[in-house]
Amino acid sequence: MSNTPLVLTFNAGSSSIKMGLFSVVNGQATQIGKGAIDLRAQPLQLQVSGPAQSQDITLSAQLTDDLHEVLDETLGWFASHFKLDDLMSVGHRVVHGGDRFDGPVAIDDDTLSAITALVPLAPLHQPQGVRLIQAIRHLRPRLLQTASFDTAFHRSQSDLVRRFAIPRPLFDKGVKRYGFHGLSYQYVAGELARRFPAVKRGKVVVAHLGSGASLCALQDGISQDTSMGFSTLDGIPMATRCGALDPGVVLHLMGPFGMSLHEVEDVLYHQSGLLGVSGLSADARELQASDRPEAREALKLFVWRIAGEVARLATSLGGLDALVFTAGIGEHQSQVRAAVSERLAWLGVQLDPWANAAHALVISATGSGVTVLVMPTDEEQVIANDTVGIYHQQVTKP
């Protein structure tokens, strides 16, 4: 890897850090390694993998609020295996860009201040992105950093779609539907354009089904509507998040039930969804393997809400030409795909059971009125592409 420029990406979760290392040749970023740290584990471990092998490295660093020790040791490990002197830039996934950011940006004092100001809109994820940026600034102050925003892909949506039926001044103050998982949808839209250009030009619903889950309506690869709104709680039920909820429930929890804001937040973000309904697990694979009626009901509710959201988004599009499943559950759990598709048979969705069981790229049956695809997503690749583009813009500035 000598003299080959490198890009490092960070994808900060509420309690985890995912990393990707990319080599850049002729302006194209290719992943050569990846890593992950679960910040809840004791001791901390850096899980790394590449084309040839995977390994877990126990970290001696202590977890501090500024992450300096953890990142210093992590970068040290990468430096011992790759020539980090050739690191040209670091790209970050930032969950919320508000109305300020409609695309990736180089991080300077002004943009970092604006990103930090958006913490109240994404209190679980945004602070983690901010402290990663600040830690890299401390450790590598001259290194270019960039931000890619999950909300930016949905800025193409009309104000009509983004508006809640609440007083107009609140919309002007930022209380509106933003949408999330935009980096995933951007990647899928790009793959559709490359591999299925005719499908990409049509009316497509993409179901990003992971521990966080949402759906997006695409027309010609452009976001028209999405299930998540003001926060990452909205839309369909998730691993531990509730999905769409009557706001009267929140009033009731804080009124007659006497729960505090923090307690309600914990219930809705961490105790609900598949975990809350099943009382067993937040993992759809464990629920699928269980014979407990509560596990069955949790999955049925999950499927029911997904199918209902597909139908709503088809209404937004004025039809449905294709349905794409992506992310962990969408890519790997054929039973969930089959159950969702069965509920959408009235829309013309028909699966080929053999192709679905084999996790094939095209899983719709011959003669299906809707093309059904299974496409892996890659948010890190989008971040890497963004940061390479911004780096070259910076270098070529007059």
Q: What is the CATH number of the domain that holds 295?
A: 3.30.420.40
Domain presence at residue 69: yes
Q: What is the pLDDT of residue 1?
A: 43
Domain span at 258: 197-379
Domain presence at residue 59: yes
Residues 117 and 251 in one domain: no
* 180 neighbors 95 (Cβ within 8 angstroms): yes
Residues 219 and 364 in one domain: yes
Residue 233 scores a pLDDT above 80: yes
Q: What is the pLDDT of residue 52?
A: 64
Domain presence at residue 74: yes
| pTM of this structure | 0.94
Q: What is the pLDDT of residue 373?
A: 98
The answer to whether the Cα torsion of 222, 226, 229, 234 is positive or negative is: negative
Which of the residues 86, 150, 246, 378 is marked catalytic? 150
Residues 215 and 329 in one domain: yes
Rounded-to-10 torsion of CA 79, 71, 139, 29: 60
Q: Phi then psi for 85, rounded to 5 degrees?
A: -60, -20
Q: Residue 310 CA to chain centroid, in angstroms?
A: 18
Domain presence at residue 181: no
What one-letter code names the amino acid at 29? A
34 versus 235: the higher-pLDDT residue is: 235
Q: Active-site residue 150, yes or no?
A: yes
pLDDT digits (tens, 9 = 90+) for 315-366: 999 999 999 999 999 999 999 999 999 999 999 999 999 999 999 999 999 9
Q: Residue 279 CA to chain centroid, in angstroms?
A: 25
Boundary of a domain, candidates 114, 134, 149: 149
- CA dist., res. 330 & res. 85, Å (int): 38
Domain presence at residue 164: no
Residues 245 and 141 in one domain: no
394 versus 23: the higher-pLDDT residue is: 23
Residues 203 and 319 in one domain: yes
Domain presence at residue 91: yes
The total domain count for the chain is 2
Q: Looking at 122-136, 191-205, 221-235, 267-281, which range is the least confident one?
A: 122-136
Q: Which residues contact 17 (CB under 8 A, 6 or more apart)?
A: 10, 11, 36, 37, 39, 128, 132
Q: Provide the token pair at 89.
A: 């830039």
Average of per-residue pLDDT values in the chain: 93
- CA dist., res. 319 & res. 327, Å (int): 24
Do the strands 54-58 and 87-94 form a parallel or antiparallel pair, or are they unpaired?
unpaired
Task: Calculate mean pLDDT across residues 114-129.
Answer: 91
Q: Which residues contact 260 (CB under 8 A, 6 or more apart)?
A: 254
Residue 398 scores a pLDDT above 70: no
Domain presence at residue 191: no
